[in-house]
Structure 1
Amino acid sequence: MTVTLHDLLPAALRRSWVLDGTCPGLDLYSLFRARQIADLHRTAVIDAKGKLCYTALDRKVRCLATGLRSLGIAPGDIVGVQLPNNRNAVIADLALAALGAVALPFPVGRGTREAESLLRRAEAVAVIAATEHRGARHADDLRDLLPALPALRHVVAAGPGTAPDGTVPFAALLRSDADGFVPARPDPDGPARILVSSGSEAEPKMVAYSHNALAGGRGNFLASLTPDGTAPRCLFLVPLASAFGSNGTSVTLARHGGTLVLLDHFTPEAALAAVREHAPTHVLGVPTMVRMMLDRLDGDGTALPAPTALVLGGSALDERTARDAAHAFGCPVVNLYGSADGVNCHTGLATEDGTPPMSGPGVVAGRPDPRVTDIRIADTGTHEPLPEGTVGEIVARGPMTPLCYVASPDLDARYRTPDGWVRTGDLGFLDPDGVLHVVGRLKDIVIRGGANISPAEVERELAAHPLVRDVVCVGVPDPVTGERLAACVVARGEHPPSLAELCAHLELRGLERRKFPERLLLVGELPLTPAGKPDRAALREHIAASPAPDTGAVRQTDDGKAPLVATG
């Protein structure tokens, strides 16, 4: 490995978390192997092919690791993985851990240009990709990148279909003789996985995590949501290759000895069928996915088997969705605030009616757990801690804190403090009870005529409108004001709201008129990124390409106040 992945946290601090039991002090494959030995025939994975027990999974892992080793994959090498949510993705995760290599997963659906950027900057020596998935031929596309990527030696083609010429068939590697395989024993505080952040940079950020940060810090997050200590049965609606999905193989399996229920592609119908058939203890997704599922349940009348928790992250959770989901799923709804960059906080299971607390300014993110990551509020300029109740930048440091950004010393300098705290770029405050409130982002603002508008704040209020099922607000370029705010709405029912009705609703909610949206885009469903989040870029492009309406647009006056009714 030529890319250096250094740890920006003091080594003594890392060691202290192993000594006090916060982190396990073992590599991911060793943890998985211990779980396999403890319960040989426990189900590890349920996917479209059926069930796969821990022993059968381990056998496939060792075969793949043997095959990859024969290709020259060595400890410390970075290997890309672009596979859908199925057993092959899990096998690849564990095989790379067994080799002491570093996995670089990124979701299917991401284009060749982005894949080339990730593989080039990480100096990946190989990539494991889907032969064909929903019309995309990722292995074929990545093979074409070989001449442009000197470090990339192999493209492994996995899944149904014939492996393209010039690639290595995944199935052939699975037939390797693993009888003599001896796993590596990498440093538990060394790199295990690179998480890709969609962030606000020109190219996606890559964040390196250690074995202990994944199984320890992130593992403690899931442990806090399994109060009886039983092995979890997790239905992942988000890609395992996403930051949220990193709680799959390394946490659900290796740390907790649980079961992964996987869909190779999210649809609300498939997700509801999986809940009914497999009765997961935890359902992990984003609010938009759950709103789609709730829409399919309207008038259904059949009860769902109640999970322990519905864990929602990736975008702001509104009160209506939380209430409806708690009622439909019959379990607590957990609002998760987290990112690939190294922050995690959630509202927990202890709620009276199953819904997370929603009162107060901003989004209530819960009480920080120092066994996952400690959180403080810092001045955006000096980075010094701010007193309780003061809004500032949310910074985090703890057992789940990543090592560093990959091949990006400029990002290390920008987003990490000298003592290792992660600068999230989010704004928030801690209330007198130590509860974190997230109020917006330093960068995710719309600047209209010099005035800052937080899309998240407007979205939260619009989500309470009875005719709005889902909403995303984005800024669109404007030659006069610089930007204008547009509301992209999925309507509830047959009669969509007008822009005037939405603005009247915001007036009643007490929002300043200068923050009212000036464009309205009605869509049947919100587009999702490959990571499962609302695709804001696609929505911005759609609106920017559409002519401004002659009527129905809210006009703002010179003093920045908008009228209550739309004018032509």
Structure 2
Amino acid sequence: MTVELRDLLPADLRRSWVVDGTCPDLDLYSLFRARQISDPHRTAVLDGKGKLCYTALDRKVRSLAGGLRDLGIGPGDVVGVQLPNDRNAVIADLALAALGAIALPFPVGRGSLEAECLLRRAEAVAVIAATEHRGTRHAADLFTLSTALPALRHVVAGGSGTAPAGTIPLARLMRSDRGGFIAARPHPDSAARILVSSGSEAEPKMVAYSHNALAGGRGNFLASLITDGTPPRCLFLVPLSTAFGSNGTAVTLARHGGTLVLLDHFTPESALAAIRDHKPTHVLGVPTMVRMMLDQLDEAGGELPAPTALVLGGAPLDGTTAGAASEAFGCPVVNLYGSADGVNCHTGLRHRTPPTDGHGVVAGRPDPRVADIRVTDPDDGEVLDHGRVGEIVARGPMSPLCYVGAPDLDARYRTPDGWVRTGDLGFLDEDGVLHVVGRLKDVVIRGGANISPAEVERELTSHPLIRDVVCVGVPDALMGERLAACVVIRGSDAPTLDELGEHLTTRGLEQRKRPEHLLVVERLPLTPAGKPDRAALRERLSAAASSPGTAGTDSLVSAG
């Protein structure tokens, strides 16, 4: 291993979670192998190619691991993975774990410039990428970049189509002899996976997680949402390559022996079809995806089999969406607050819809078996009393080791005793329930006054004509920035800016927080990670402002 990955948590604290049984103290492949032995014919993966049982999956994993070992890939090596949500992504995950290597997954659709940055900083020795996906040829693009990446020795091309010249076909590696393969047994507290965080930095943050942090800490999160101990059947609407998606292979399969239901690409139609056809127990997505599905349900109608839970994260969840989703899907809606940086808190299954009270987004009661949470003064780190707003910090079994190739981020976002500084503002109430009220840096500064887009979004979602909304700041020569509301409407009638302003006033917001631009869009654009694409919305606002009437289906209104 060339890139340094050191654990920023005290060693005795990390091992205490093994001693008390919070973490399993086994590497991910050993956990998966135990599941395969105990129930060899259980379906592990359901994707566009059909079903794959645990035994068939393990055969493919061992073959690929042997092929990668023949390429010289071994314990501690970082290997990038840019594959869509299908069985190949799962096979690659487990094969790297079996080698003791470290997976660095990132979503298809991410551009080559960002991929080059990730692979370079992580000192990846190889990358497994899609030959072609939705018109993009990731493997060929990455091979072109490989000359600028001295550590990168191999580009492996997977999926349909002919592997580009110079790359290694994934199919060939998966035909390797698995009979002689003996899995490595990496230390459970060593690095297993690098999660990519789409935060506020100029470049994406990379965060290293151990086997125990994934199967233990993150595994305990999902365990709390399994009602009867039956292995879960999880439909992932988000990419497995995201932080949210890391609850897939490592958690659903290795920790809980469940089934992954995978969509190669999210659309509301395909997601609803997967619920009808495969009857998942848990559906994991972001609120915008669910709003799109609700729109489609309004048009198509029809009954859906009720999952155990709809688990929504990645963006704030408002009460209107939660209530509509609970009624439509016939199950509790779980509001998940979390990030790749090492924070997790959720509202659980006790409520049909997450509680709301007007004091920020209710995130639930922190679970110390996943991550303990405190609220501290952003300036001096002092722990604040219940009810006082400060920075949310987290530390627990799911805490990552460190940031990858970025000691400056370790210094900025980790305390000397290992707590993660989230940059989020919130408070703990008298009952120990966490409320998230905004971001330290995510503000629109209008004429010197700060406006929290999250606060305005939260209140606008309760407007009867709005299905979905994202608020962003747009440059302004006079005020510095002005707030724009980008909305998806219900039906055919769009609200006016004045109507939105009046609605916000009735909800208790000051007049200075009223949006001054309104962009009506058919659907919100999503990033490759499945979150609302704020940068794309800013571009569309700029295009609509410079060329009114020619911005496609977008409609822009600005205050006079």
**1:273-323 Cα shifts (integer Å, max 9, x gaps):** 000000000000000000000101115442110000000001111111101
Give the equivalent residue in structure 2 for 1:459.
Answer: 457
User: Could you tell me how far apart the structure 1 residues matched to 2:222 and 2:202 are?
Assistant: 32
Match of 1:409 among 400, 407, 410: 407
Aligned-partner SS, 1:227: coil
User: Could you tell me how far apart the structure 2 residues matched to 1:390 and 1:219 are?
Assistant: 31
Give the equivalent residue in structure 1 for 2:132.
Answer: 132
User: Could you tell me how far apart the structure 2 residues matched to 1:465 and 1:318 are?
Assistant: 11
Give the equivalent residue in structure 1 for 2:505.
Answer: 507
Aligned-partner SS, 1:6: coil
Give the equivalent residue in structure 1 for 2:429.
Answer: 431
Moved more, 31-40 or 495-504: 495-504
Give the equivalent residue in structure 2 for 1:273.
Answer: 273
User: Could you tell me how far apart the structure 2 residues matched to 1:249 and 1:224 are?
Assistant: 18
One-letter identity of the residue aligned with 1:266: F
Give the equivalent residue in structure 2 for 1:330.
Answer: 330
**1:239-259 Cα shifts (integer Å, max 9, x gaps):** 000000000000000000000
Q: Residue 79 in 1 paired to residue 87 in 2?
A: no
Aligned-partner SS, 2:250: helix
Aligned-partner SS, 1:476: strand
On the 8 A contact 1:2/1:123 being kept in 2, the answer is yes
CA RMSD in angstroms, aligned pairs only: 1.3
On the 8 A contact 2:516/2:559 being kept in 1, the answer is no
Q: Residue 257 in 1 paired to residue 249 in 2?
A: no
**1:489-514 Cα shifts (integer Å, max 9, x gaps):** 01110111121211111122121000
One-letter identity of the residue aligned with 2:108: V
Kindly report structure 1 stretches of 4+ aligned residues shifted beyond 6 Å.
548-551
Give the equivalent residue in structure 2 for 1:356.
Answer: 354
Provide closer, same or farther for how the CA distance between residues 567 and 87 of structure 1 changes in structure 2, counting only shifts above 3 A.
closer
Aligned-partner SS, 2:545: coil
Give the superposition deviation at 1:549. 9.8
Provide closer, same or farther for how the CA distance between residues 546 and 567 of structure 1 changes in structure 2, counting only shifts above 3 A.
closer
Give the superposition deviation at 1:480. 1.4
Q: Residue 2 in 1 paired to residue 36 in 2?
A: no
Give the equivalent residue in structure 1 for 2:291.
Answer: 291
Q: Residue 372 in 1 paired to residue 370 in 2?
A: yes
On the 8 A contact 1:500/1:566 being kept in 2, the answer is no
Give the equivalent residue in structure 2 for 1:121.
Answer: 121
On the 8 A contact 1:477/1:544 being kept in 2, the answer is no
On the 8 A contact 1:503/1:516 being kept in 2, the answer is yes
User: Could you tell me how far apart the structure 2 residues matched to 1:195 and 1:445 are?
Assistant: 26
User: Could you tell me how far apart the structure 2 residues matched to 1:495 and 1:4 are?
Assistant: 56
User: Could you tell me how far apart the structure 1 residues matched to 2:324 and 2:513 are?
Assistant: 27
User: Could you tell me how far apart the structure 1 residues matched to 2:95 and 2:481 are?
Assistant: 48
Aligned-partner SS, 2:427: strand
User: Could you tell me how far apart the structure 1 residues matched to 2:38 and 2:371 are?
Assistant: 29
Provide closer, same or farther for how the CA distance between residues 431 and 549 of structure 1 changes in structure 2, counting only shifts above 3 A.
farther
On the 8 A contact 1:342/1:396 being kept in 2, the answer is yes
Give the equivalent residue in structure 2 for 1:538.
Answer: 536
Give the superposition deviation at 1:544. 2.8
- What are the equivalent positions in structure 2 for 1:467-546 lying under 5 Å apart? 467-546=465-544
Q: Residue 225 in 1 paired to residue 225 in 2?
A: yes
| Uncovered stretches (5+) of structure 1, i.e. residues with no partner | 552-564
Give the equivalent residue in structure 2 for 1:18.
Answer: 18
Give the equivalent residue in structure 2 for 1:386.
Answer: 384
Give the equivalent residue in structure 1 for 2:554.
Answer: none
- What are the equivalent positions in structure 2 for 1:179-258 lying under 5 Å apart? 179-258=179-258
Give the superposition deviation at 1:443. 1.0
User: Could you tell me how far apart the structure 1 residues matched to 2:21 and 2:559 are?
Assistant: 63
User: Could you tell me how far apart the structure 1 residues matched to 2:434 and 2:169 are?
Assistant: 48
On the 8 A contact 1:191/1:209 being kept in 2, the answer is yes
One-letter identity of the residue aligned with 2:116: E
Provide closer, same or farther for how the CA distance between residues 444 and 271 of structure 1 changes in structure 2, counting only shifts above 3 A.
same
Give the superposition deviation at 1:542. 1.8
One-letter identity of the residue aligned with 2:415: T
Aligned-partner SS, 1:246: helix
- What are the equivalent positions in structure 2 for 1:61-76 lying under 5 Å apart? 61-76=61-76
State the aligned residue count.
553
Aligned-partner SS, 1:474: strand
Give the equivalent residue in structure 2 for 1:98.
Answer: 98
Give the equivalent residue in structure 2 for 1:46.
Answer: 46
On the 8 A contact 2:497/2:559 being kept in 1, the answer is no
TM-score (structure 1 length as normaliser)? 0.96
User: Could you tell me how far apart the structure 1 residues matched to 2:545 and 2:60 are?
Assistant: 55
User: Could you tell me how far apart the structure 1 residues matched to 2:547 and 2:90 are?
Assistant: 49
Provide closer, same or farther for how the CA distance between residues 370 and 422 of structure 1 changes in structure 2, counting only shifts above 3 A.
same
User: Could you tell me how far apart the structure 2 residues matched to 1:235 and 1:81 are?
Assistant: 21
| Uncovered stretches (5+) of structure 2, i.e. residues with no partner | 550-556
**1:513-562 Cα shifts (integer Å, max 9, x gaps):** 001111111110000000000001111122134327999xxxxxxxxxxx
Give the superposition deviation at 1:566. 7.8
User: Could you tell me how far apart the structure 1 residues matched to 2:548 and 2:164 are?
Assistant: 52
Give the superposition deviation at 1:477. 1.1
Give the equivalent residue in structure 2 for 1:310.
Answer: 310
One-letter identity of the residue aligned with 2:539: E
User: Could you tell me how far apart the structure 2 residues matched to 1:567 and 1:389 are?
Assistant: 37
One-letter identity of the residue aligned with 1:420: G
On the 8 A contact 1:475/1:486 being kept in 2, the answer is yes
Provide closer, same or farther for how the CA distance between residues 566 and 476 of structure 1 changes in structure 2, counting only shifts above 3 A.
closer
TM-score (structure 2 length as normaliser)? 0.97
Give the superposition deviation at 1:567. 5.5
On the 8 A contact 1:69/1:99 being kept in 2, the answer is yes
One-letter identity of the residue aligned with 1:304: L
